[in-house]
Structure formats: structure tokens, C-alpha cells
Amino acid sequence: MTKKSVKDIDLTGKRVFTRVDFNVPRNEQGEITDDTKIRAALPTIRYMLAQGAAVILASHLGRPKGKPDESLRMDAVAARLSQLLGHHVQKVDEVVGEAVSLAAAALQPGELLLLENVRFHPGEKSNDETLAKAYAGLAELFVSDAFGTAHRAHASNTGVGQYLPAVAGLLMVAEIENLSKSVHHPLRPLVAIVGGSKIADKIGVLHNLLRSVDTLLLGGGMANTFLKAKGYQLGKSLVEDDQLTAAAEIMQEAAALQVNLLLPSDLIVADSPQDVPGAQAVAADSVQAGKMALDIGPQTRKSYGDLVSKAGTVLWNGPLGMYEVDAFAQGSIELLNILAQSEAFSIVGGGDMIAAVEKAGVDKQISHISTGGGATLEFWEGKELPGIAVLQEI
Ligand code: ADP
Ligand code: MG
């Protein structure tokens, strides 16, 4: 670890602009269904408060379109954070502006302020300089604990670091240390499992991942896009049609690099995610029109499970099915159990993967649970992430 952390500097009496990743999964009522990401940031927050810092917290939540979205306000997060910390959390309803500046200026050592969802501001994702300077104007120091966003160069996790001394939080340190172990000198065979639904975000990463892994197992919505690229009919399944060429290229590249890239040989299909009684296993080339592929099937669980149980290192991002519905969680849960029993050094990352690990009840048997999804994947590629690059070297 060559990055400076909160332990390397004097925090006493300092106002600290702290980027955290509180992008937690929520249900349709907006209630938090898994608070792992909030709990993961507590050690850094507690440490800074104990050192006498005044802590300003900033995070995004969900995908607002650069403007306020009532369903994505940070109030539920503030309430949960306050409950977990046993400490008052003051929340402001704006990202920047006079109310925020006044609240930050009035903040005393040992006090906490949470800003509104930073992605309500159009300048956040464009890494706008004026916005980055406005964040910097609130504090004397920048701490980043948001590993989950480290692969993005946004104003609150990268831009602000141009204008303030920037150091890592404790979660960021733990992530960098654990992930480095799996990237440099991994125990082989190195097996990567990639699933989930953010296909366009993740597909590009697979090119580079192919250069380091021995085996790549695909599931979830990601696999659907690959199956369609092979010419199979996928009915009403989640498929990203504009990624079909990208998927075909990755399959060619895997063959050229002699990487064992596997797609599901069978799938669990239903009329819709609600159609639990209609769920049935079919061969991957036999998805009927009108059906949705919502999980990997029993044959695939077996073949993937055999490879996972013999692996030296397993990197896993994205669930293999719609794990939120029990009927479509079996692929992810069975594979997680096999991984938990295996001797492999195991790293599982991603917001939804964390929730799936909780559901399977195997969190103690996984070597490292990463709070990153896309960030973890890009780290595995060997890239320097902008949210890490901005932090000062020791
Ligand atoms: P992570 O948060 O672990 O990085 P993603 O956000 O990419 O993972 O994907 C998680 C989502 O993918 C879950 O909501 C899950 O229901 C969905 N998903 C997985 N497989 C499928 C599928 N076959 N069809 C539709 N959605 C799926
Ligand atoms: Mg997710």
C-alpha cells in the first residue's frame, strides 16, 4: 500500500470532505434492504470523529439524471447511519449552495453532516471543475472511502482531490490491500464469475480480464447477451442488443487466448419474475418466445460448481440470476455455497452480490467481500482507478 491514509495525517480540528459509497440496495418503498455498504464505512467515520474531525459525508444513491429525484434522497441513509453509529447525523437537502456552505462552516469537531445525493447535480458525473472547487471549499482535507465509485472520475471522488490534500479511508485501504493480493500472483486456476444486469458497464472489462484468468464463467443478464450473440433465441429475457458485437468479440478473443469461457448450458425460465409457479429448466438453446431466462439451470450449477471447487482463486461480480426472488436465487446461492466450502482465495464484489452473500449466509467463509462492483472488476483488470490515483502517495 503506497497511498496515504487517515492514519498518516493529523485530523484534529479539521473539516474533512469524505466521499463514501452509500449506494445501498432499496426496495420499491425506498427502504434499505442491505446496509453492508454503510456499515463498511463506519470504521473510517468513527476514527475521524474520535480524532476530533468535523466530518462532511457525500455519496450518490441510485441513478438520478443529474437533477433531484424525490425517491433518491439521502434521508433514509442518514437515518440508518445515525442508528448504526449511535450518533446524530445532520442532513442537508442540497448538494452545494448557501445552505450547505453554512452548515459545513458551523460544523464542530466530532460532528457529522451528510450532503444530498451528489448525482442530483449535473456537474457530479461530468467532473465539473466548479463543483469540485465548491466541494473543496467546504473543507481542509479530502478523504475517499468510496472504493465502489473509484473507477469513475466524478467531482466528489476525483475532482475535489485536485484542490485538497487527498488521503484514503480505512475501507479504501482494506480494499486495495485485499484486491492487490488477488491480482498480483494469484493462486491458479484463476476463475472469474461475472453476472448481473449492468451489462454495458461490465462487458468492456472482460477483454482485459481474459488476459489474466484461466476460466471465465458467465451468468445472469450478462450470459443472456452472450447466448443471443451465439444465435440463440432468448424470448423476453434481459438482453442488451447493442452489446451483441462486443459479446461476439469477447468469445473470439477467449478462444484465441485459450481461456475457458463458459456460458450456461441450461436456464430457469418463466413468463415473468412474478411467475414463480411457471418456473422451469430448459436447455439454453430452447428458450421459448415469451419466456424470460431468470437463473442458470441445474446442469450449469453442476458444471460451474466443479470448476469453482477446483479453483485457486475465484473473483465473482454480479449474481447469476434474479436472486431477489427465491425461485431464481438457486444458481447464485448454490455456487456461493460451493465457493464457501472451497479452499480458494475468494473475492466477491458488487452491491447485489453482497446482498446475495447475505442471503446465502456465507459471508464468514468468503476471503474478502468487496464493496465494489465495476470498480472491483476494473481493479482486477490491472487498471489504475481514477479515485485511487488522486490519493497522495506515502
Ligand atoms: P452487482 O451489484 O453485484 O454488481 P448488478 O447490479 O450488475 O450486480 O446486477 C444485479 C441485478 O441483476 C439484480 O437485481 C438481479 O436481479 C439482476 N439479474 C441477474 N440475472 C438476471 C436475469 N437473468 N434477468 C434479469 N435480471 C437479472
Ligand atoms: Mg447492483
Check residue 337 and give its pLDDT: 98
CA 149–ligand 2 middle distance (angstroms) = 12
Identify whether 385 is part of a domain. Answer: no
Closest ligand 1 atom to Cα of 267? 23
| Statement to judge: residues 104 and 245 lie in one domain | no
| Statement to judge: residues 252 and 110 lie in one domain | no
Q: Choose the final residue of a domain: 149, 174, 199.
A: 174
Q: Choose the final residue of a domain: 117, 145, 174.
A: 174
CATH of the domain at 235: 3.40.50.1260
Mean pLDDT value across residues 137-143: 98
Please, what is the end-to-end C-alpha distance for the chain in angstroms? 9
CA 352–ligand 2 middle distance (angstroms) = 5
Closest ligand 1 atom to Cα of 374? 4
Among the bound ligands, name the one nearest to the CA of residue 219: 1
Identify whether 387 is part of a domain. Answer: no
Read off the pLDDT band of 32 (50, 70, 90).
very high
| Statement to judge: residues 88 and 212 lie in one domain | no
Q: Nearest residue CA, atom 15 of ligand 1?
A: 322
Identify whether 73 is part of a domain. Answer: yes
Among the bound ligands, name the one nearest to the CA of residue 376: 1
Task: For residue range 51-104, list pLDDT tens digits in order.
Answer: 999 999 999 999 999 999 999 999 999 999 999 999 999 999 999 999 999 999
Helix H or strand E segment including 370 = strand 368-370
Identify whether 390 is part of a domain. Answer: no
The ligand 1 site (C-beta within 6 Å) comprises 195-198, 220-221, 224, 238, 293-294, 317-319, 321-322, 324, 350-353, 373
Among the bound ligands, name the one nearest to the CA of residue 374: 1
| Statement to judge: residues 213 and 145 lie in one domain | no
Residues 194, 315: Cα–Cα separation, whole Å:
8
| Statement to judge: residues 65 and 202 lie in one domain | no
CA 108–ligand 1 middle distance (angstroms) = 42
Identify whether 246 is part of a domain. Answer: yes
Pocket test for ligand 1, best of 271, 322, 323, 326 (most atoms within 8 A of CB): 322
| Statement to judge: residues 15 and 99 lie in one domain | yes
Q: Choose the final residue of a domain: 174, 207, 239.
A: 174
Count of structural domains, the chain = 2
Mean pLDDT value across residues 250-268: 98
| Statement to judge: residues 200 and 278 lie in one domain | yes
Identify whether 391 is part of a domain. Answer: no
Identify whether 193 is part of a domain. Answer: yes
Check residue 311 and give its pLDDT: 98
**Burial bucket for residue 241 (CB in 10 Å: 0-12, 13-18, 19+):** exposed
pLDDT at 310 over 90: yes
Check residue 1 and give its pLDDT: 66
CA 239–ligand 1 middle distance (angstroms) = 12
Closest ligand 1 atom to Cα of 353? 3
Closest CA to 100 of 15, 177, 185, 175: 15
Read off the pLDDT band of 168 (50, 70, 90).
very high
| Statement to judge: residues 152 and 219 lie in one domain | no
pLDDT at 352 over 70: yes
| Statement to judge: residues 281 and 353 lie in one domain | yes
Q: Nearest residue CA, atom 26 of ligand 1?
A: 322
Mean pLDDT value across residues 162-188: 93
Residues 260, 340: Cα–Cα separation, whole Å:
22
pLDDT at 137 over 80: yes
Average pLDDT, the chain: 96
- Given a contact cutoff of 8 angstroms between Cβ atoms, the answer to whether 292 and 237 are in contact is yes
Pocket test for ligand 1, best of 26, 27, 197 (most atoms within 8 A of CB): 197
pLDDT at 217 over 80: yes
Exposure on the CB side of residue 192, measured as CA atoms within 13 A: 28
Three-class SS of residue 347?
Answer: strand
| Statement to judge: residues 166 and 193 lie in one domain | no
Closest ligand 1 atom to Cα of 321? 20
CA 61–ligand 1 middle distance (angstroms) = 17
Check residue 34 and give its pLDDT: 87
Residues 323, 18: Cα–Cα separation, whole Å:
32
Identify whether 180 is part of a domain. Answer: no
Among the bound ligands, name the one nearest to the CA of residue 350: 1
| Statement to judge: residues 163 and 210 lie in one domain | no
| Statement to judge: residues 216 and 263 lie in one domain | yes
- Domain range for residue 114? 6-174
Check residue 157 and give its pLDDT: 98
Q: What are phi and psi of 51, to 5 degrees?
A: -80, 0
Read off the pLDDT band of 381 (50, 70, 90).
confident
